[in-house]
């Protein structure tokens, strides 16, 4: 296991290094010079050089990466060109917001999808199975912003029971925080639940056809216990993969929800930075998001071995 | 660009993007602006202002700074924020006339309009109690000319010197005559910020009716009423600005009652507001036009530019891109300019365009848009119109940053541009079509136009200025460096049942929301 982790860790570092170099090459690849855009066509060479030095833009990608890593060790991810504020501080404000959205929506999605998928697989063709499959299909077909607008219309405009937009920090008003969290989290969770439901439903179907399941059933094991203790574990490998990938991508993938519900998280932060060519922000967030993705993938690989020890055994032999 | 304009690039870019953002306006059905003004006026006539309460206002973008010199609050889109903290020296009244506000007067001090005398009100203080005096104004203007992010660096560069005549008087001596000098002081340059005191968030203090009590760049801003405000106190105790970047959910927040008013530039929202029980207050405050790059083929040929200009039907663009709201732009002079338009742009004439194409041969070009929906709709319609006369146009849809980079680097053939620059044509025409003008991205140069612009700079008589402006326009049409499309609506949508005191912007060249005049009817 340790050797496996070490091997995957080295590979992950290699991926991160590649992404970091690419991120640091962006100012060279994208049209327009940040210094020229900020200072104008008539800026002098001295002004451009000072600007580039200030925002770590002038040197080659490897030198810039070295400067960035040096800053990272000192807790300094650079300065935003647009706001002139420290990227570290801005990330510290926005990252927890998105993490909360992602975590709560993941839990909600699993709470919805796990029981429904297992019960549907247990009774194929039942009303629950048909309705859940149809709903999952609808939710998968529906873009996130359409689902969001629908929820806003129903719960904020018609029923007026939840706020349409906005974000209230938990420290300021716990109840207000909760009410502002419901619609965005539901928007994310429903879309995720549809994916998990279909994946788990299909695999659980196969697992439930296994002879050991029939044997357990013949021994009189109750359905709920059988599903949770015998069927869920082998059926959950694809689900774990999906959850892992979702977690990795979710940090940067909350743009639609954060924009629609006016939530000051990472998605909006990255999107705004891209639109304004705020390279120090884009570079730092790109590397952080890549690290999140690589970490999630590594955890998924590790969890395979815990869920199904045969995988580790096969790897050894 | 001439050397005198060196070092103003950042200001230019900031201003341009601000103008552009402010520009992507539009609105109303048959006469939305008119109906909005009727609603507002009617409300003001029947209701008595109520003091107290909190007004919640939805903004369309993050506010990265509350410093006028940062350029972040210089666009008309966020004037509601700027006006809450900072009073402007000058403002436009309901009829569109430029009038003093923080100033008592701001007039030319000589016959050539090279010297100007600003007289300030007595008894005005910043929110820390320090007095607004001539020295504070000079310090503010100086800072606006030196901060690298300031949108007013180019304007300050036209000031040769500033002299403190008395505690309340400042004499400006300009590099060259400028009869419109005071018009520059309605936004960030005129919104006097303290250079010695800042609030708890590090932003300079103002003399305005509110002070910032909470600030979060991505979430919102809360402001509390100043009890020691020099003028008539604001009605609402608190203004809460919420950052709601998505146009649809911003509108739904208003419909649901979560906010009292929102900024909008979306035509369908203006046309649909009445059905949702909402009112609008808008102005034709942004202009969309096409900009030819005369440095590169095919638009280094005046005939090619004229052919494209004649082949585009602005009325059709108004219907397609603006949902029928706003108005067709017929001149560099807007309908709210206060001048008669005697020399409009040549009318849509596909036959004439076809004749030119037959003579010079069909050609192809790429049309660059900034990715906004209205620009894309406009481009698609133009593509069809041009195809009918034998011109092939390909559409390049990019994001705002790429669009801006292309604009500044000159790497485009024709480009879709929306700006509020035309709203202040007295101050901005030379910037747009004068040789080397900061917003003359076309590379346009005409000696006669430059001579008329120089004459215009020193002309104080309104009628004579009108003649000169139309003469410039006529010369511009001959050379066709640009083609005008539409005047777009922008402004505020609000619930008249709960919010009143929203001003009428129908005749004003810019929509500058004053939160101090609004009151919450429900309180």
Secondary structure of residue B237 in the 3-state scheme:
coil
Instruction: Please state, as a whole number, how many other Cβ atoms lie within 10 Å of the Cβ of residue B171.
Output: 16
pLDDT digits (tens, 9 = 90+) for A163-184: 999 899 999 899 999 999 999 9
Determine the Cα–Cα distance for residues B106 and B185; give it in Å rounded to an integer.
Answer: 10
Is B64 an 8 Å CB contact of chain A? yes
Ordered DSSP codes for A252-269: HH-HHHHHHTT--SHHHH
Q: How many CB pairs under 8 A join A and B?
A: 138
Nearest to B334 by CA among B160, B487, B168, B516: B487
Residues of B in contact with A83 (CB under 8 A): 64-65, 217
Nearest to B9 among A32, A43, A145 (CB): A43
Residue B310 has what pLDDT? 97
Q: How far is A27 from chain B (nearest CA, A)?
A: 12
Residue B40 has what pLDDT? 43
Residues of B in contact with A268 (CB under 8 A): 218, 245
Q: How far is B66 from chain A (nearest CA, A)?
A: 11
Nearest to B249 among A33, A83, A262 (CB): A262
Q: How far is B148 from chain A (nearest CA, A)?
A: 7
Determine the Cα–Cα distance for residues A220 and A223; give it in Å rounded to an integer.
Answer: 9
Question: Chain B 308-367, CB below 8 Å of chain A: which residues?
Answer: none
Q: Which residue in B has a C-alpha nearest to residue A270's C-alpha?
A: B218
Contact B405 A38 (CB under 8 A): no
Secondary structure of residue B101 in the 3-state scheme:
coil
Check: CB of residue B462 under 8 Å from CB of residue B470. no
Q: How far is A22 from chain B (nearest CA, A)?
A: 19
Single pTM value for the model: 0.83
pLDDT interval class at A61 (50, 70, 90): confident
The residue written with tokens 């290699």 in the block is A14
Contact A166 B258 (CB under 8 A): yes
The residue written with tokens 């059926």 in the block is A235
* Alpha helices (H) in B389-446, listed in sequence order: 400-409, 425-433
Pairing type for strands B261-264 and B482-494 reads antiparallel
Q: Which residue in A has a C-alpha nearest to residue B255's C-alpha?
A: A157
Q: Which residue in A has a C-alpha nearest to residue B241's C-alpha?
A: A166
Q: How far is B5 from chain A (nearest CA, A)?
A: 8
- Backbone phi, psi, residue B261, to 5°: -155, 155
Residues of A in contact with B5 (CB under 8 A): 42
Question: Encoding tokens for residue B236?
Answer: 């609402």
Check: CB of residue A166 under 8 Å from CB of residue B254. no
pLDDT average, residue stretch A90-114: 93
Check: CB of residue B174 under 8 Å from CB of residue B159. yes
Nearest to A37 among B243, B399, B404 (CB): B404
Determine the Cα–Cα distance for residues B84 and A296; give it in Å rounded to an integer.
Answer: 46
Question: Encoding tokens for residue A208?
Answer: 């439930």
Residues of B in contact with A157 (CB under 8 A): 252, 255-256
Check: CB of residue B152 under 8 Å from CB of residue B188. yes
Tens of each residue's pLDDT in chain B, 523 residues: 333 333 233 333 333 333 333 333 333 333 333 333 334 444 445 578 889 999 999 999 888 899 999 888 888 889 999 999 999 999 999 998 999 999 999 999 998 899 999 999 999 999 999 999 999 999 999 999 988 778 888 889 999 999 999 999 999 999 999 999 999 999 999 999 999 999 999 999 999 999 999 998 778 999 999 999 999 999 999 999 999 988 999 999 999 999 999 999 999 999 999 999 999 999 987 899 999 999 999 999 999 999 999 999 999 999 999 999 999 999 988 888 888 999 999 999 999 999 999 999 999 999 999 888 889 999 999 999 999 999 999 999 988 878 888 888 888 999 999 988 887 788 788 888 999 888 888 889 999 999 999 999 888 888 999 999 999 999 999 999 999 999 999 999 999 999 999 999 998 888 999 999 999 875 4
Contact A262 B7 (CB under 8 A): no
Evaluate the omega torsion of the peptide bond into residue B87 and state whether it is cis, within 30 degrees of 0. Answer: no
For the cut 80, the answer to whether the pLDDT of residue A221 exceeds it is: yes
Determine the Cα–Cα distance for residues A75 and A16; give it in Å rounded to an integer.
Answer: 19
Secondary structure of residue B5 in the 3-state scheme:
helix
Q: How far is B11 from chain A (nearest CA, A)?
A: 8
Contact B252 A261 (CB under 8 A): no
Q: In the 8-state DSSP scheme, what is residue B183?
A: G
Contact B246 A43 (CB under 8 A): no
Contact A160 B257 (CB under 8 A): yes
Determine the Cα–Cα distance for residues A144 and A269; give it in Å rounded to an integer.
Answer: 19
Nearest to B226 by CA among B216, B218, B238, B243: B238
């Amino acid at each position: 296991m340790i050797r496996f982790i070490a091997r995957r860790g080295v590979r992950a570092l290699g991926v991160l290094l590649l992404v970091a170099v690419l991120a640091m090459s962006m100012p060279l690849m994208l049209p327009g010079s940040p210094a020229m855009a900020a200072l104008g066509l008539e800026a002098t060479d001295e002004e451009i050089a000072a600007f580039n030095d200030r925002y770590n833009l002038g040197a080659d990608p490897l030198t810039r990466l070295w400067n960035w890593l040096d800053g990272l060790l000192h807790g300094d991810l650079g300065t935003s060109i647009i706001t002139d504020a420290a990227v570290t501080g801005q990330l510290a404000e926005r990252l927890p917001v998105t993490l909360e959205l992602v975590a709560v929506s993941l839990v909600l999605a699993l709470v919805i999808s796990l029981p429904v998928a297992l019960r549907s697989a247990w009774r194929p063709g039942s009303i629950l199975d048909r309705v859940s499959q149809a709903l999952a299909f609808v939710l998968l077909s529906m873009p996130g912003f359409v689902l969001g607008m629908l929820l806003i219309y129903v719960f904020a405009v018609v029923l007026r029971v939840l706020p349409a937009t906005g974000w209230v920090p938990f420290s300021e008003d716990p109840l207000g925080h909760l009410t502002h969290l419901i619609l965005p989290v539901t928007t994310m969770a429903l879309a995720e639940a549809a994916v998990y439901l279909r994946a788990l439903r299909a695999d659980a179907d196969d697992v439930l056809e296994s002879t050991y399941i029939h044997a357990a059933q013949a021994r009189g094991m109750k359905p709920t216990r059988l599903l949770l203790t015998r069927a869920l574990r082998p059926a959950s490998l694809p689900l774990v993969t999906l959850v892992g990938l979702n977690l990795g991508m979710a940090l940067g993938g909350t743009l639609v929800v954060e924009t629609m519900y006016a939530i000051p998280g990472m998605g909006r932060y990255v999107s705004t930075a891209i639109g304004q060519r705020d390279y120090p922000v884009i570079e730092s967030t790109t590397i952080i998001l890549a690290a999140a993705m690589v970490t999630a993938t590594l955890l998924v690989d590790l969890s395979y071995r815990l869920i199904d020890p045969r995988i580790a055994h096969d790897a050894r032999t | 660009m001439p050397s005198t304009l060196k070092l103003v690039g950042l200001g230019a870019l900031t201003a341009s993007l601000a103008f552009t953002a402010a520009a992507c306006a539009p609105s109303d059905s048959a006469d939305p602006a008119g109906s909005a003004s009727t609603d507002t006026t009617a409300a003001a006539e029947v209701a008595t202002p109520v003091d107290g309460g909190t007004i919640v206002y939805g903004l369309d973008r993050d506010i990265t700074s509350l410093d006028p010199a940062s350029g972040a609050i210089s666009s008309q889109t966020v004037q509601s924020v700027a006006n809450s903290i900072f009073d402007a020296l000058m403002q436009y009244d309901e009829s569109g006339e430029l009038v003093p506000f923080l100033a008592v007067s701001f007039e030319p001090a000589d016959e050539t309009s090279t010297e100007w005398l600003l007289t300030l009100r007595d008894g005005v203080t910043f929110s820390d109690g320090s007095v607004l005096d001539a020295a504070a104004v000079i310090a503010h203007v100086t800072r606006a000319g030196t901060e690298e992010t300031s949108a007013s660096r180019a304007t300050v560069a036209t000031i040769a010197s500033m002299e403190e005549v008395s505690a309340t008087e400042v004499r400006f001596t300009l590099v060259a005559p400028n009869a419109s000098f005071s018009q520059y002081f309605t936004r960030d340059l005129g919104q006097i910020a303290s250079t010695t005191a800042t609030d708890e968030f590090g932003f300079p203090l103002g003399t305005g009716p509110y002070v910032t009590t909470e600030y979060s760049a991505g979430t919102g801003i809360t402001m509390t009423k100043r009890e020691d405000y020099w003028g008539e106190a604001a009605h609402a105790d608190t203004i809460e600005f919420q950052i709601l970047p998505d146009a649809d959910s911003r509108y739904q927040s208003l419909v649901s009652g979560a906010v009292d008013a929102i900024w909008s530039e979306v035509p369908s929202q203006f046309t649909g507001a009445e059905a949702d029980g909402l009112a609008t207050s808008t102005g034709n405050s942004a202009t969309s036009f096409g900009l030819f790059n005369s440095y590169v083929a095919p638009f280094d040929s005046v005939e090619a530019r004229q052919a494209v200009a004649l082949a585009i039907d602005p009325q059709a663009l108004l219907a397609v891109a603006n949902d029928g709201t706003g108005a067709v732009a017929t001149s560099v002079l807007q309908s709210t300019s206060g001048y008669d338009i005697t020399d409009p742009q040549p009318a849509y004439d596909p036959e004439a365009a076809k004749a030119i194409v037959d003579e010079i041969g069909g050609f192809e070009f790429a049309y660059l848009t900034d990715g906004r929906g209205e620009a894309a709709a406009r481009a698609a319609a133009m593509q069809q119109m041009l195809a009918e006369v034998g011109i092939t146009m390909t559409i390049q849809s990019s994001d705002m940053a790429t669009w801006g980079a292309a604009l500044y680097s000159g790497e485009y053939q024709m480009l879709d541009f929306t700006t509020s620059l035309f709203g202040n044509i007295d101050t901005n025409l030379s910037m747009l079509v004068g040789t080397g003008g900061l917003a003359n991205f076309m590379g346009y140069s005409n000696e006669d136009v430059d001579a008329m612009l120089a004459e215009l700079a020193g002309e104080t008589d309104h009628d004579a200025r009108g003649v000169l402006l139309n003469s410039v326009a006529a010369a511009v049409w001959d050379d066709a460096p640009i083609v005008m499309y539409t005047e777009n609506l922008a402004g505020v949508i609000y619930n008249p049942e709960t919010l009143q005191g929203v001003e009428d912007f129908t005749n004003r060249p810019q929509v500058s929301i004053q939160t101090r005049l609004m009151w919450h009817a429900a309180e």
